[in-house]
Amino acid sequence: MKRIVEYMKRNYKVILVITALSAVLWSFIPSEKKSDPEKDKLLLELLTMVLERGHYSPVAIDDAFSKKVYAKYLDGIDPTKRFFLQTDIEEFSKYELQIDDMIKRKDLTFFNLTNSRLLQRMEECRAIYEEVLAAPFDFTAHENINVDYEKLPYAKNKKELIDRWRKQLKLQALSTITDKQKLEEDKKSKDASYRAKSFDVIEKEVRENSLKSLNEYFDFIQKELTRNDWFSIYINAIVERFDPHTFYFSPEDKEKFDVSMSGTFEGIGARLQKKNDAVEISELISGGPAWKGKELEAGDLILKVAQGKEEPIDVAGMRLDDVVKKIKGPKGTEVRLTVKKVDGSIKVISIIRDEVETEETFAKSSIVEKDGKRFGIIYLPKFYISFENKENRDAYKDIAVEIERLKAQNIDGLVMDLRDNGGGSLETVVKMVGLFIPEGPVVQVKGPGRNPEILPDPDKKVQYDGPLVVMINNFSASASEIFAAAIQDYKRGIVVGSKHSYGKGTVQNVIDLNQFIRGNSYGDLGALKTTIQKFYRINGGSTQREGVMSDIVFPDRYTYLDMGERDEESALPWDKIAPASYEPLPINYDQIIANSKKRIAANAYFKLIDENAKWIYERKDDNTFSLNLNQFKKEMEQSDAKIKKFKVLLDYNNKLNFSSLPNEVSLFEKDSLLKQKRERWHEDLQKDVYIEETLNVIAEIKASKNGKALPKKLSIN
């Protein structure tokens, strides 16, 4: 098996699955390139076999399964119910309980019917929105729109569908018009000679911009999406019924996943975006070949692409993904881009491809001083690793380096910021926990029908033995939760942040589907990410659904909303197993936690954040809006009055000074983009009320006498 994400060498069940699948599928040896439908049928068979035999908790593919796939798929392709008619749904409904049987028969009738009907309805809807936007809206009429699309019925006929489009576009127009009117009023208040645009002018501009945006969207659908893209949506409606983290990757999506996990790729180091029929350079990646060459600039339009000395190919109207494929390529090879510069000149730029690091993926650190103490902050966006080359950067190695750099600055404490960290490599997080503890188990991993496997700290070395606080939020998931849970269970530090983390307590494996087909002439079949294990804390509890509960809870916008894995219908259940044998450190943080809670309760900003969270919760079911201009403005003014009260939160400044470490400062002279990125990060930290209280907590850990009770191998002060 290729590209094993987590500890799979000892997972004999998955190996048996592969062996069995290979034997079954040797019969699929096509003699010539098959059509897409034949490839789609093969994909259905491959995916269901792998899932039924290799998923941690396979579900029965029966009528109940079929019903849920049916609903998930239709919601995926028409979420706002602005394409299909009720007559379409009535026609589709006969398949609602047949999808399970159709999967087993490799029958594509349901997909073919819904896909062709969707494309037909989309083309018909072009005429609808063009007609709606051709004339001014009547904003004097007293009518409402409900945007709870989940409960909204499908339009009974074309007349109802036109009215739905009209109301949706009218709501968008109302929102934009009122915003533009405020801007005009602001300009007039600052300059008495300014001639503000009339309502009619603004309204016309808004309709014209809406038409342009919709045309661009529908052009994208028509020109950029292929049958494979639509079929991927259908496939994922099926595989996600097993659990939310089981997912089919098309070949393009698999490549993007690899890049996101490793933080590196081979190419020129430029981000591209569609601009009408052209492809525009939106950003140069700091340190990449294009950035080093200083010829290519953001805003340049790519007209042609040539490989080395080959003839250039015109890319006008080409799919963005196809243009990206032509520009990316192996390290050391040449690509020649014919570009139209911002000044209108045409230029041919030669670039030698190289390995590019997406810098924002990687760990970064900062120093901050507070009350005479120096603290280090490490922000880790994900637990990245290169599966292809273990010599490349990974989060464990980078964090170890950052810790040494911070220790050289004589820090009094360390903050590990894992907010919004969605996880990553299990191997990496296990080793990373080992940087903070002398030895012992880190996490337990359990496959179906097997005893738990304890994954320990691989060495006895402690990289950092000082005061430690881990920051999490609702979107800290998977590997982030393993790290926070281990630190919490060992009492190695204090976990602060949202009430709980995301709650993803499962391990996935990415399986290359091409390995199952001998002499494959179907083309790249993509890959399947599937759940093969669950992980458990060393105290025996699962983080699945429940997440990690913070020792100190910071109020945030989502405090009263049910966020995370617990909100996923197909999520695996919470459970627990026997605890591993481990010894928590003899530390009592109770007083430090109590002191922080008192500060939070007395903090005016935290009180306002909590009030904002309650307001958001109260409004979550408010889905009806007036489409009468005066009434809409009145509703918005009432809402704005409340929002204005909360806008003060955006003005918060902790007045702390954050600075980069000497190794980065030395790079700033040559890398102005890196300097700008760090300055923006430091500005964000200054506006972060949570950082300030986190530093209060870590300062108390430093000042406490807990360290005297610790083993000689590990001290806290």
Which residues belong to the active site? 478, 489, 504
Those residues with Cβ within 8 angstroms of residue 10's Cβ, 6 or more apart along the chain or in another chain: 453
634 phi, psi to nearest 5 deg: -60, -45
Please choose, from the candidates 346, 356, 340, the residue with its C-alpha nearest in 3D space to the C-alpha of residue 293: 356
CB atoms within 10 A of CB 244: 17
Q: Which pairing describes strands 334-340 and 301-307: parallel, antiparallel, or unpaired?
A: antiparallel
Element (H, E) at 279: strand 278-284
For the stretch 260-299, what's the b/e string if a residue is b when 16 or more beta carbons lie within 10 angstroms of its beta carbon? ebbbbbbbbbbebebeeebbbbeebbbbbbbbeeeebeee
What distance in Å separates the CA atoms of residue 674 and residue 717, rounded to the nearest whole number? Answer: 34
Contact at 8 Å (CB) between 242 and 570?
yes
C-alpha neighbours within 13 Å on the C-beta side of residue 575: 11
Nearest-CA neighbor of 376 among 606, 600, 702, 713?
702
Residues 6+ apart with CB under 8 A from 405: 365, 661, 663
Query: CA-to-CA distance for 242 and 51, rounded, in angstroms?
Result: 8
CA distance 451 to 533: 11
Q: Which of 123, 121, 183, 199 is nearest to 158 (CA)?
A: 121
Nearest Cα neighbor of 558 from 505, 502, 504 is 502
Place of tokens 């360290």: 707
Residues 6+ apart with CB under 8 A from 533: 6, 11, 56, 445, 446, 447, 506, 507
Could you tell me where the beta strands, DSSP code E, fall in 564-684?
624-626, 658-659
Alpha helices in 55-157 (DSSP H): 63-77, 86-92, 99-105, 109-132
Q: 225: which residues sit within 8 A by CB, 6+ positions away?
A: none
Q: What is the rounded CA–CA span in Å between residue 45 and residue 516? A: 11
Q: Are 544 and 574 in contact (CB under 8 A)?
A: yes
Closest by alpha carbon to 426, among 476, 382, 475? Answer: 382
Residues in a beta bridge with 339? 302, 347
Three-class secondary structure of residue 678 per DSSP:
helix
Which amino acid, one-letter code, is at 89? I
Which two three-digit tokens encode residue 144?
């409402």
Q: Are 296 and 420 in contact (CB under 8 A)?
A: no
Cα–Cα distance for residue pair 303/322, rounded to 1 Å: 13
